């Protein structure tokens, strides 16, 4: 947990203020490359990745399962009273870094925004 605060963080908000917004959060990683005899080959085992959704009260509201897959996802409801949320993508093993994409899907009636939070 000592490296957890160093992970990228994204603010998630919803335009719906009168009811929960169902969202699907998807975290994808690129296949890891390994040098083998002067060529680059894809690693057969991706990092175990997951994510946390932390509400404005500091409580973990949801999490994506930590799995050694190229993609992990989970659904949860963004509660208006606990918004905005912070999404924190991470690897299971501290200190591992890699390229990733985080996407959030919601019904068309709910506009959601995902903003990368810059460190001071």
What pLDDT is recorded for position 35? 46
Burial class, 79, CB count within 10 angstroms (exposed 0-12 / middle 13-18 / buried 19+): middle
CATH class of 4-117: mainly beta
| 15-70 confidence digits (pLDDT tens) | 888 999 999 999 999 886 654 555 555 556 899 999 999 999 999 999 999 999 99
What pLDDT is recorded for position 43? 56
71-78/39-42 β-pairing: unpaired
Query: Taken in order 54, 60, 64, 68, is the CA torsion positive or negative?
Result: positive
| 65-110 confidence digits (pLDDT tens) | 999 999 999 999 999 888 899 999 999 998 888 899 999 999 988 8
What pLDDT is recorded for position 42? 56
Domains in the chain: boundaries: 4-117
**Count of C-beta atoms within a 10 Å radius of residue 29:** 18
């Amino acid at each position: 947990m000592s490296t957890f605060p160093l992970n990228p963080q994204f603010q998630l908000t919803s335009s719906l203020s009168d009811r929960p917004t169902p969202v699907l959060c998807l975290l994808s990683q690129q296949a890891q490359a390994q040098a083998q005899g002067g060529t680059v080959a894809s690693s057969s085992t991706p990092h175990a990745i997951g994510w946390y959704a932390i509400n404005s009260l500091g409580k973990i509201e949801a999490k994506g399962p930590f799995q050694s897959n190229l993609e992990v996802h989970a659904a949860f409801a963004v509660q208006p009273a606990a918004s905005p949320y912070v999404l924190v993508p991470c690897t299971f093993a501290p200190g591992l870094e890699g390229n990733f994409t985080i996407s959030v899907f919601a019904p068309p009636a709910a506009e959601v925004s995902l903003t990368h939070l810059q460190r001071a």
